[in-house]
Structure 1
């Protein structure tokens, strides 16, 4: 079957999402913006994963890369909670800044904040992968035009071990966001001076761009999570959970589904397409908020110079030029 109508467009968007997420990493690392760094890392990893899948399985369902698929579905699952978890850490940090009473933040407090963010954004997605394995019916599916896809058994424990967590994270993040807005409204007169004295790398403008990014992620994550729960509950019957052996019966199989089948599955097809497009959209939304700042433009320029350096011809040394001019005159 020929590739879908958006075939060149989707991998291009994924590649751009990967590039735009990776380039700003240095200055966010310097600013100890761990939540933002994890947001960029999960977005970049998810975009790269989808880019590879959309190229390899653009027009086939061959099980040509089983090891890659095992890695790919776990990236997909971990990123589904890693990105909203990163947004939660951003909102949590903004809340702490909005309610801070002390001007100075010690290095110990920064390290403590980094460890907490790492637990939320890295450790929890790893634990989530273990929980999902409990309800993973078989190794994976291969969807033409999509690629490797997790095979989650639709049973009652699935909603508690897998499906509900993006919604839970989004709800907690929304509570932090509302509390931050309330705190800012109460302290709006002293807030700008507090940022100038406390956070050398976090300006007033960057604070609100971070808040806008986190709010946008909440507005996307929460409806998507609700839609996913509704879709799983209605698209296919919920099977009873009998036992571990029953759920993992014939676990080693790989189901291969041509595009003509899964694209004709109605609402389920909309959910599959929406779930993959949301990843590059998150990366591009990040770029929209941070890609046009002065520090971003400086780093894009540095990256462009580094990429094009091998293709630029080095200027010959001045002595070489003068020696050759003298030789040409002697021939004249």
Structure 2
């Protein structure tokens, strides 16, 4: 038995809940879904390690349902977060209305909750692994390739693309702000040099008295 599995899994599960109040008030469905899937996955791992630490008896078969839907729910939540970041970074919509926020919440609910529940209904078999708990077995077939591996992979790749686009937008905005900063500072320096003669540096007293004198 691995006694470290249970406390580590439970600590990881409840650590995720720290961010929930702020995101609940903000209505960030994707972030809430991400926290929920991480919480349930770690709870399942902790409970599985506690129950099946020294046996392989069938005790809680329902855990395989929740564990499997988190395999799709986690990349789906990441996809929705990356899509929102890309929209914010691109500044395509300078203003967001209440209806826009509600449409985004509905879309994120369908992707982060609806689709994982749908895929959950496609799995019903499970194996018990001593010291770890129940895990989903996969009958290797064309259907399994599309359902188990290809769908989360495509979602993860799409999330990676959106994250790259968001990073690109942020970098472009950062470079643009630096260019404008350099331009305005150079213009201010040029006008100051043209309007005010350069004074010699003698002593601190002279410099202070000259700074206090009207121009």
TM-score band by shorter chain is 0.7 to 0.9
Match of 1:151 in 2: 137
User: What are the equivalent positions in structure 2 for 1:293-304 lying under 5 Å apart?
Assistant: none
The CA deviation at 1:72 is 0.5
Q: Does residue 1:99 correspond to 2:84, yes or no? A: no
Per-residue CA deviations over 1:92-115 (Å, capped at 9, x if unaligned) read 110010112443311111111101
SS at match of 1:187: helix
Select between 96-105 and 112-121 the one with higher mean Cα deviation.
96-105
User: What are the equivalent positions in structure 2 for 1:1-332 lying under 5 Å apart?
Assistant: 3=1, 7-63=2-58, 65=59, 68-69=60-61, 71-130=62-121, 132-133=122-123, 139-188=125-174, 189=176
How far apart in 1 are the matches of 2:154 and 2:93?
Answer: 31
Larger of the two Rg values belongs to structure: 2
**RMSD of aligned Cα (Å):** 1.5
How far apart in 2 are the matches of 1:72 and 1:11?
Answer: 16
How far apart in 2 are the matches of 1:87 and 1:29?
Answer: 17
How far apart in 2 are the matches of 1:162 and 1:52?
Answer: 24
How far apart in 2 are the matches of 1:77 and 1:101?
Answer: 36
How far apart in 2 are the matches of 1:151 and 1:159?
Answer: 13
How far apart in 1 are the matches of 2:138 and 2:68?
Answer: 11
How far apart in 2 are the matches of 1:161 and 1:38?
Answer: 21
The CA deviation at 1:163 is 1.6
Unaligned stretches of 5+ in structure 2?
178-215
How far apart in 2 are the matches of 1:154 and 1:20?
Answer: 36
Match of 2:202 in 1: none
TM-score normalised over the length of structure 1: 0.51
How far apart in 1 are the matches of 2:147 and 2:95?
Answer: 41
The CA deviation at 1:80 is 0.6
Change (3 A) 1:162 1:102: closer
Contact kept in structure 1, 2:53 and 2:131, CA below 8 Å: yes
The CA deviation at 1:82 is 0.6
SS at match of 2:85: helix
SS at match of 1:41: helix
How far apart in 1 are the matches of 2:155 and 2:19?
Answer: 25
How far apart in 2 are the matches of 1:113 and 1:73?
Answer: 30
TM-score normalised over the length of structure 2: 0.77
How far apart in 2 are the matches of 1:160 and 1:103?
Answer: 38
